[in-house]
């Protein structure tokens, strides 16, 4: 396990460790063990389990890999293994253009909705597998976690070299793609703090690539974020220019995760000045708004013609960004988050995943293993 100190920002702000531990445990129990109309994890046959996107009634690699990361942080190998086995049984593709990747969406019976991958799932899977190996040790396949993680990363960067598909990272600029067979990106997919660890634990011949990917993403993120609001576009060109897809506003659901990623990068590898600038801008923009007033926005902060689909997610990720800065606005954001409950209803999946990651990060429990 990595020997380092992790900030417990909740404790710094005066909340008791007992209350913090209760918040962590209550959040886990609600999401993984609670009533059917509140949980998002469900057991399935053959010692498997899945995470439900309750807004779309499917299982996605995003949620499955999120659930595995949550499980390894909570020391729940039973849940981790159920999620991983379901992923390998139903989502992993062994033939076709995207063989070696995971189908990004499946019906709850395991039937694939699509035969394309989403790279954010693969990067979360890979790091969760490394953490599982370090925390619990390896067993027989598919629970030989370390080898599975190394092989997945190898596929992500080398696929296509033999004309058999496309890599998930551009070999020219080391930036992650939105999908493998395209040449643009999603700023919220950029996890340089993950790539730092891949550079330690991937197959030796791949480690230099991950060093370069971490550097490239840390250069990309501040360019992609608006200089006044801190908003990152949902999708963008490699130079950070917003790319409009599917008719969404520029600052929309995926965008929110950039703030969380900045906070965790700062917590794991030390804050950088550009991270503070982005976090401060976000906190300033939302400081006079209540969560019910959150909208979808253009990057300059002008509202689009719709309410934010995931307001709890905005608040949670902005709170996590407080790990990259300090001051009264950061404190205000974290306290507002502390006093906000988990979301209920059909759209709870995405908000509550971001919520739990923020709880773990702000309590010093989102750790390198």
Catalytically active residues are 62, 254
How far is the C-alpha of 232 from the C-alpha of 258, rounded, in Å? Answer: 7
Write down the number of H helices and E strands in the chain.
13, 6
How far is the C-alpha of 176 from the C-alpha of 170, rounded, in Å? Answer: 6
Query: DSSP secondary-structure letter at 307?
Result: E
How far is the C-alpha of 259 from the C-alpha of 41, rounded, in Å? Answer: 25
Our CA angle for 129, 132, 133, nearest 5°, is: 90
C-alpha distance across the termini of the chain, in Å: 5
CB 333 within 8 A of CB 285: no
Q: What is the number of other CB atoms lying within 10 angstroms of the CB of residue 336?
A: 16
β-sheet bridge partners, residue 242 = 236
Helix (H, G, I), strand (E, B) or coil at 298: coil
Query: Which of 250, 240, 252 is closest to 311 using CA atoms?
Result: 252
How far is the C-alpha of 48 from the C-alpha of 51, rounded, in Å? Answer: 11
Residues 6+ positions from 65 with CB-CB distance below 8 Å: 87, 120, 121, 122, 123, 124, 125, 128
CB 348 within 8 A of CB 356: no
């Amino acid at each position: 396990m990595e020997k380092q100190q992790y900030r417990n920002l909740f404790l710094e702000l005066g909340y008791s460790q007992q209350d913090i531990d209760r918040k962590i445990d209550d959040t886990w129990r609600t999401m993984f063990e609670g009533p059917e109309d509140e949980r998002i994890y469900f057991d399935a046959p053959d010692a498997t389990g899945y995470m439900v996107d309750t807004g779309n009634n499917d299982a996605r690699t995003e949620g499955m890999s999120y659930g595995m990361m949550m499980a390894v942080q909570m020391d729940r190998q039973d849940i981790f293994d159920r999620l991983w086995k379901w992923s390998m049984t139903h989502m992993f593709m062994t033939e076709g253009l995207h063989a070696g990747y995971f189908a990004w969406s499946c019906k709850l019976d395991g039937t694939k909705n699509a035969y394309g991958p989403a790279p954010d799932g693969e990067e979360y899977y890979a790091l969760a597998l490394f953490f599982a190996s370090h925390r619990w040790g390896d067993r027989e396949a598919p629970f030989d976690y370390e080898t599975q993680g190394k092989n997945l990363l190898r596929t992500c960067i080398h696929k296509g070299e033999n004309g058999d598909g496309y890599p998930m990272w551009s070999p020219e600029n080391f930036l992650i793609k939105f999908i493998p067979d395209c040449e643009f990106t999603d700023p919220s997919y950029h996890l340089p703090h993950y790539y730092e660890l891949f550079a330690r634990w991937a197959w030796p011949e791949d480690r230099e690539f991950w060093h370069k990917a971490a550097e490239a993403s840390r250069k990309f993120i501040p360019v992609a974020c608006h200089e006044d609001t801190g908003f990152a576009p949902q999708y963008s060109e490699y130079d950070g220019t917003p790319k409009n897809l599917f008719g969404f506003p520029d600052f929309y659901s995926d965008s929110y995760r950039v703030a969380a990623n900045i906070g965790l990068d700062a917590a794991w590898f030390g804050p950088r000045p550009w991270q503070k600038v982005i976090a401060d801008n976000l906190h300033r923009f939302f400081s006079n708004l209540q969560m019910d007033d959150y909208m979808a926005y253009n990057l300059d902060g002008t509202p689009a013609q719709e309410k934010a689909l995931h307001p709890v997610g905005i608040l949670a990720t902005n709170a996590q960004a407080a790990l990259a800065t300090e001051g009264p606005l950061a404190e205000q954001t974290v306290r507002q988050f502390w006093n906000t409950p988990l979301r209920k209803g059909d759209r709870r999946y995405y908000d509550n995943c971001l919520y739990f990651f923020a709880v773990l990060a702000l309590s010093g429990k989102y750790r390198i293993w």
